């Protein structure tokens, strides 16, 4: 962070992104356990159990572990000077949107999202980013209000910085 910059809020996407991976994990564990338990005895039974286990681990990795890592490694940091969006598990990508460049902020919530307190935040800026859509933002109304306050503070500070040069 730069001098005079303060962190307002940092967060990950809403936990609802983990519902499908969690359900997939339960189904995979139950299905593979049932397949192993009800497998008839035959000559290559141990190999068949091993195949079931390998398939289960592969499916768990793709449908549960990778989505969890993506969720955990997606971060949003709102400071007094910028909104930082970090994504990536193996390769990290970080985008900064300066508050002074933000032109429009809008929020969208479906019925289920309203019940869960999350939604989609759309930030339009005059910079390189243009329009950025952030899905599954937790406590979206609070984030939106804090974002507006940060934009107002950035606009209020900008003329005084120019005048002092």
Whether residues 91 and 148 share a domain: the answer is yes
Whether residues 66 and 126 share a domain: the answer is no
CB 100 within 8 A of CB 158: yes
Whether residues 66 and 119 share a domain: the answer is no
Whether residues 114 and 59 share a domain: the answer is no
Residue 2 lies in a domain: no
Residue 125 lies in a domain: yes
User: What is the model's pLDDT at position 158?
Assistant: 63
Supply the pTM of this predicted model. Answer: 0.82
Closest C-alpha to 74, from 17, 22, 116, 141: 17
Query: Rounded distance, CA 69 to CA 83, Å?
Result: 22
Which domain range does residue 40 map to?
A: 16-70
Whether residues 156 and 119 share a domain: the answer is yes
User: What is the model's pLDDT at position 165?
Assistant: 42
What is the chain's pLDDT, residue by residue, as a tens digit (165 residues)? 788 889 999 999 999 999 999 999 999 999 999 999 999 999 999 999 999 999 999 999 999 999 999 999 999 999 999 999 999 999 999 999 999 889 999 999 999 999 999 999 999 988 676 899 999 999 999 999 999 999 998 877 765 554 444
CATH number of 132's domain: 2.30.29.30
CA distances from residue 24 to 15, 21, 51, 112 in whole angstroms, order as listed = 15, 5, 19, 21
Whether residues 84 and 157 share a domain: the answer is yes
User: What is the model's pLDDT at position 63?
Assistant: 97
């Amino acid at each position: 962070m730069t001098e005079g910059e303060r962190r307002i809020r940092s967060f990950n996407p809403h936990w609802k992104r983990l519902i499908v991976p969690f359900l997939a994990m339960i189904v995979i564990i139950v299905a593979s356990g049932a397949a192993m338990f009800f497998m008839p005895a035959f000559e290559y039974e141990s190999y068949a159990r091993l195949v079931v286990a390998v398939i289960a681990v592969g499916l768990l990795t793709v449908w549960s572990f990778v989505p969890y890592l993506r969720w955990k490694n997606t971060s949003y940091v709102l400071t007094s000077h910028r909104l930082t969006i970090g994504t990536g598990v193996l390769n990290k990508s970080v985008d900064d949107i300066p508050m002074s460049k933000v032109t429009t902020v809008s929020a969208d919530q479906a019925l289920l999202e309203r019940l869960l307190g999350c939604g989609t935040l759309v930030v339009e800026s005059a910079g390189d980013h243009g329009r950025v859509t952030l899905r599954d933002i937790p406590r979206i109304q609070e984030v939106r209000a804090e974002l507006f306050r940060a934009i107002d503070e950035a606009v209020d500070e900008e003329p005084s910085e120019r005048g002092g040069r």
